[in-house]
Every structure is written in structure tokens, then in C-alpha cells.
Structure 1
Amino acid sequence: MDDLEVAGERRRLLEEMLPQGWFHGTVGSVADRLGCGSIPDRWERTPDSEGSNNRRNVSYRIKVPGVDGRTAVAAWARLQLPAGMQFQLLSTVDFRVDFSALPDDVQKDDSSLVSSVRRLSADELGEMFIVAWMLATRSLPLAVTNDLLRMRPAGPTRVELHIDSERPPNLGHDRVLGLMDMIDFTEFGEAPSLLPPSMSTSITTPLVISDHQVEDSVMESLFYMTSSFGFINYK
């Protein structure tokens, strides 16, 4: 992939595509449902502290304001071409919610819990992963090529799904949040008594698959991941 680079015209194409994609619309829908302000109509290049933008790197973000203008919902899209000891093309999409910046986000009887109406639903979680998968594997690589199959893989293509709390026990200070505080996992079965602050799973998959295959892969992976971390589903 040494001949690939993020050319100016391709970066401009990506900047035009980001606000028009399904991921942008899904972020806006979730932000609206959570009571946030309007999603901006364009993505911005990140500061260097969050990601590089040069001939081998792409890093963009979008931020939606909440209470007192604080960022409540945000997303990042990054692409990194192989360089040095990094032999793989990395395409990553992050979605984050600061529940403390949401209007009426906490229950009055327990300041450590997110209001049940503000938790992300299983449908929202699945939809976010589906559109993030499509952005990472279809849109972001357009910054370097129109032909994904031209990029000779260093190994099997792998997609990873991660769910994390940035305020786990011992690190959450005065506001500790577990995954079940932030996400309604009811659809995935009976919850374990103790859930770690992060869950993840990895899928080996062809680079180019259909929308239906992406949807099936995400939902199967979510059920596999939650069952691996102790959720009991009798269906």
C-alpha cells in the first residue's frame, strides 16, 4: 500500500460525504432523542491531540452540545494507512455519550444512574454499529482509493465491536457508570450479577459484503458478545 495516500481531492470528497451518510443521520437521531441540540451540518478535522491529518492519516469529528453548551454526543472517524511497524490499514469509528451533559439525565433518587429514558436501546446500539461498520469499511477508505479490492490485505479482514464505560469503578470518581447504567441490554437476556466496564468482540469477514450481511453480522456478534460476558438468553 506504499503507493496509496490521502490526496487533496479525495479528502474533499470524504468531507462532502460524511454529513450525507447513514452514520451522520443515526448520530443526529440519537442526539435528538436524548434531548440534545442540533447536529452540525459538517464534520471538522480533529486537533492534533485527537488524531493526525496528513497524507497517510484522516481524522474527523462531530460534536453535539447538551447542557450549558457541553458536548453531550460526539463521534469520530479515523483512517490510518500502514507506516513503520504498523502493517495494517486501520479504519475506526467512535460514538460517545456524556450522560452528565444530557438534559434531565439522572434519576433523583440515585445520582450514579442514568435515567431509564436516556439509556441507549438495543435497537439504537445495533443500528449504531451497523452504520459505523459501513462508514469504516466503505466510506473512509474512499479517502485513498475507489477500489477496495485493490488494497492487498496483510491478512484476513477483521471488524471489532467495542462497548466501554469511561467512568468505571475506581476511575469514575464521583460519577461511576457501568454498561447497564447506560444501555438497556434487556433484549440480550438475563444480565449477569457483575458486568465488566467494557465488552468487545471480533469478526473475521470479507471486506465487501451486502447491507443485509452487515446487519446480520452485527446482531449475531452482539448476541455472541453479550452471552460471552454472562448474559443468559433462552430464546
Structure 2
Amino acid sequence: MLVDGGEPVFVGEVAHIVGAVESGPRGAAAVGDREAFENLLILCGRHHKIVDNPRTRGRYPVEVLREWKAQHEAEFDTATRAELTRLRALPSRLPELLVDAFRDATADLGATIDKLEAAGYLAHETAQLLHVALARGSNAGPAVGDGVPGIKEAFEEAYDAAGGASFLGIPSADAYELGPGFVQHLRGGRCGHPAVICALNGRPALVVTADLWNAMSCTGDGMADSGVRGVGFPASSAGGDHRYIAPTVARVPTVGGAWGRGSMVNADGRWTWVPDLGFDSNSGGDADTATGSQPRLDLRLRLVARMPNNRDDHRVSAAGRRRLAAELAKPGMAAIVSALAADRIAVPPGLQWRPTEDQYARNDSWGTSYDCLINTPDGRHAIHGRLHYLMPHLMSSDITSIVDVQLDFDSCQSEPCQPNSPVARRLSLTEVVDFFVRAWRIAFDVLPLALDEPTCNVNSGGRQRVGLYITNERSQNAESDRTFHLTDLVDLRPFGTSPKKYLSRLDLAVLGRGPLPQHEARDVVRKALVRIAENAGFDAADLVTW
């Protein structure tokens, strides 16, 4: 290193210890990589010529030059030696460094093109062509659509429609197949953020922000079919170009996932997947879940909520049981039972939920059970409420909340009921709706307090399922000393009439809804009851007024 006019000038030359070619100086010596850092030595120009000159190089064998290199490097401080060590990878990193350097230069050129367009010196179409040419010339990596046969045309079409190279940047990797579709990541350009091209098999490709895509990919982490396999792929844009879903879009529909249709919803900068509301008429599976130890009365109203679970270590803890017990002891928590006693039987003072004591109850780490009873003076059950909160088990990976209330109409009126005749005080449709709305809150907001973690919503993905059941336990098919039609116990006239003679149970599963405000739960319950009535053949179900 020399100093000329106050400026340092490097005058050294890089020499090879073992020749650069086998016929060169010391070229016959064994070496792994002739261009490796370990085989390079910095010498001044004069000594470089001496060690390589045919008349003098015999005095400077490989061993001598390696000793010189070691002595020179030992004179450096620790930081300098660390930098020298890092340079050992220089030959392998050189292509990457060159590409990065050229990318910086093209970024400056891209900014210049934008300024010329803004000033009116370039037409928009011309500027776009220059951006594309610049990106393609600088892109040493994959092109749009590379990596998966058959998608290139669709991906290029979406890429160009969404703004092309100047707006979205160039691909950072090959496209790949994921779940129900195909994906390729983009570095980001004038849009200001990395982006993703994605296409569900058989649907047009779209471009979304990387933030949205990452949120979809992380939904339901730990569950079966989590991420985009469960959520699906974006379906369309709600603003701007239909091929580009901008960061300002607040709701993005999703399709093609294992969990059914839904939407990614952006609230306060956080994306959450919300399933679409759906109904499943094949819902009888939970009609009798955890009813083995209960005596059957006349009518059963039941709500069973199944919540997908992404953990295998959830349990009911001692602290959780105390939280739940304290909540159930609050005034009004027994209203779901006492409301059904109105004009039927007197409500005893101090009515509240108490831990179930029979041998089949779950009050341990795997579940919890509570009873709330209104009895006749002679001890018969008139209204029997029961709650269950059950952890996943061998037959189900869901966490299950059950809210169940039975009525015995003989015990709720002064005169015995007459078989196959309406009881004196049938349940009204309003009472049925109120029961399910209260049960919804208990299932999602109250019973989950028993978990080892104080949370009211354990779902991190998946599609929640809520079964609604109205069951006649004294139907013509039941082995009973007296039987009823379901319409003898519940006033279903607002739905019209049904041709079914032996209607013993009305049921339906609500799909895609978890914890809800009371007014939303009421709306969902009413829609579900209309669907239930239509399934049962009632001729005016859709005309009901609430």
C-alpha cells in the first residue's frame, strides 16, 4: 500500500502458491482448489515476478510461500483475521455479490425511469416496457411461472395485469405446488412490499401481499390441514385491479380449503380467517352424547358445540374449575333453566348450577359437569339442566361444550298430561330461541373458563360446529307408557304444518360460527330454526315472523 497525494493506493498483486494451471509455477503440487483463498498470496509486483520467474522460482517452493502467507496473516489483529477468514468463501459468493451489485444499479435506473415518466418525458407504456426489460435483464434467478409445468401463462397474465416487474418486483424463487394450488413469491417493487402470485387449480391466478399470504399460511398452526390447505386460496379482489389484492382490502374471500369457504378479515392490521355460515342437516351424531346417566323426561333441548383444537395438552385444571364455578354462581346464570319454568312450576330460591355427583360425570382433568334442577315437592325432576365440557379423546380431537335441558310436563302442570295431546303449556318458539341463544353463550364464553388457560376461544383455525337439537323423548317409537307428537310439546304453528306424522326430533348443525354477540347469536339461531323447519317439511317456515 502506497500513499499518493494523501490517498492510499493498493499496489499489491495476487499470486498463486500452487500455479493457476498445472503447467504454471509450482503447478504440479497437489491442491484442492487452485482459486481458493488458501492458495492465494499477496505480493508486491517485484517479488511476484521473482517467485514465478523460471530462473528463480526453484528457490521458492510451495512450502516457503505458505510460510510467508502464514507469517503475514499472523501480523493482523483479530478483526482483520476474521475478515480474511470470511473471504475464504469469496469465490462461491462472487456470483451472488455481482447480482446484488447489479440489482442495486437497476433499482437506481428504475427510479430514474419513474421520475422521467412523472415529468412527462416518457409515456406510461414506454416506462412499463423499460421496467420489464430492466427486470428481465437483471434477473439472474427464476422467471415468473418457472418451477411448475403448465402455469407460466396464467402466472404471467396475473403478474402483468397486477402491475408487472416495476410494481411487484421479480420472483425470489421458483413457483411450487402447495395444498390445492400453486404459489410463487415476489421481491416487491413500487408496491412497497413483497407479494405472492397464487392460483387455485382451475381458477385464475391472483397477486396478494406477503402479509396476507403469511397470515393464511399460519392459520390453525398445529392442526390437521392447517394453513392454506385448510383456509384455501384467495378468491377475488374487492378493490383495484381484480388480479391484485391490495393492502387496503379488508376482507378477502377464500375457497378450495379443507375447512370450507370463508374470508380473511383484516381488523386493526391483523388478519383472521372467518368461516362462512353454513348448515349441515346430517347432525344427529351428538343427539345422545354424554346422556347415559340422565333419566329421560319428555322434551330435551340441547346445544353441542365442537371446537377444533390445535393442541394435545389442553386439560381442565383446578384453577379452571374455580373460575368456572365462580362464573356459574353469578346471578342470572341459572336463567336458562328458570326461564323454562315460567307459568309452569315455581322456581326454588337459590337456584344455581352445582357439580354433577353421579358416577358418569366428568369432574377431573378430562372434563367437567354441572347440574341445575327444579324438582316437584315430592322430589321428581320437573326441569333438569346439565352442562358438560369435554376434552379431546380417542374418538374426537375437538373440545366439546354441551348445554342440555329436559322438561317433564306432568311435573309442570296440575293435571296429568294426556297421551298424544298437546300439553297445557307448550314451549313457544320464542322460548326455544331464547334457550339456544343463552346456551350459545354458555358453550363458548363460560364453559371454556375451565381450561388450563383462561381463554374463551380455543379455536386457532378449523370450522366450528354447533348442533341444535329439539327432541321428543316420548315419541311413538319410544318405549314409554305415554307418547306425544313433537308438536304436542312445542308450538311449531308459526312454521305452518308438516305432513310428517312421526316427528320425534328436529336438529341441524350450524357451521363456521364460534363466540358471538347476543344479537348475532339470535340471528344465527333463527336462521337455523327456519332451515330445521324446512327440512321437516313445514310449509310456511320461510314466512315466520319473529
Q: Same fold (TM over 0.5)?
A: yes
Distance 1:96 1:150, change over 3 A: closer
Superposition map of 1:1-235 within 5 A: 1-20=311-330, 24-38=334-348, 40-66=350-376, 68-106=378-416, 110-116=418-424, 118-144=425-451, 145-153=453-461, 155-233=462-540, 235=543
Distance 1:150 1:103, change over 3 A: closer
CA distance in 1, matches of 2:347, 2:433: 23
Contact 1:80 1:89 in 2 (8 A): yes
Tell me which stretches of 4 or more aligned residues in structure 1 moved more than 6 Å: none
CA distance in 2, matches of 1:230, 1:49: 41
Unmatched tracts of structure 2, length 5 or more: 1-310
Query: Matched residue of 1:68: which SS?
Result: coil
Residues 141-181 of structure 1 deviation map (CA, whole Å, 9 limit, x = unaligned): 1111333445434x310111001111111424221022111
Distance 1:131 1:82, change over 3 A: same
Query: Matched residue of 1:69: which SS?
Result: coil
Contact 1:99 1:114 in 2 (8 A): no
Residues 168-197 of structure 1 deviation map (CA, whole Å, 9 limit, x = unaligned): 114242210221111111122223342421
Query: Matched residue of 1:168: which SS?
Result: coil
The Cα of 1:15 is off from its aligned counterpart by 1.4
Amino acid paired to 2:325? E
The Cα of 1:77 is off from its aligned counterpart by 0.7
Query: Matched residue of 1:20: which SS?
Result: coil
Residues 6-47 of structure 1 deviation map (CA, whole Å, 9 limit, x = unaligned): 111221121121243655213212213212442643322223
Q: Which has the higher contact order (CA 8 A, sep 6+)?
A: 1
Contact 2:409 2:423 in 1 (8 A): no
Contact 1:44 1:62 in 2 (8 A): yes
Contact 2:469 2:508 in 1 (8 A): yes
CA distance in 2, matches of 1:24, 1:206: 24
Distance 1:26 1:90, change over 3 A: closer
Contact 2:441 2:516 in 1 (8 A): no
Please provide the CA RMSD for this pair. Answer: 2.2
CA distance in 2, matches of 1:196, 1:28: 27
Query: Matched residue of 2:421: which SS?
Result: strand
Distance 1:170 1:189, change over 3 A: closer
CA distance in 1, matches of 2:416, 2:421: 6
CA distance in 2, matches of 1:59, 1:170: 29
CA distance in 2, matches of 1:33, 1:217: 28
The Cα of 1:138 is off from its aligned counterpart by 1.1
CA distance in 1, matches of 2:359, 2:539: 41
Q: Quick check: 22-31 or 224-233, which moved more? A: 22-31
Amino acid paired to 1:13? R
Amino acid paired to 1:147? T
Q: Computing the radius of gyration over CA atoms, which structure comes out larger, 1 or 2?
A: 2
The Cα of 1:70 is off from its aligned counterpart by 0.6
Contact 2:383 2:407 in 1 (8 A): yes
Contact 2:388 2:403 in 1 (8 A): yes
The number of equivalent residue pairs is: 231
Percent of aligned pairs with the same amino acid: 26
Q: Quick check: 39-48 or 61-70, which moved more? A: 39-48
Unmatched tracts of structure 1, length 5 or more: none
Q: Which residue of 1 aligns with 2:301?
A: none
Q: Quick check: 34-43 or 158-167, which moved more? A: 34-43
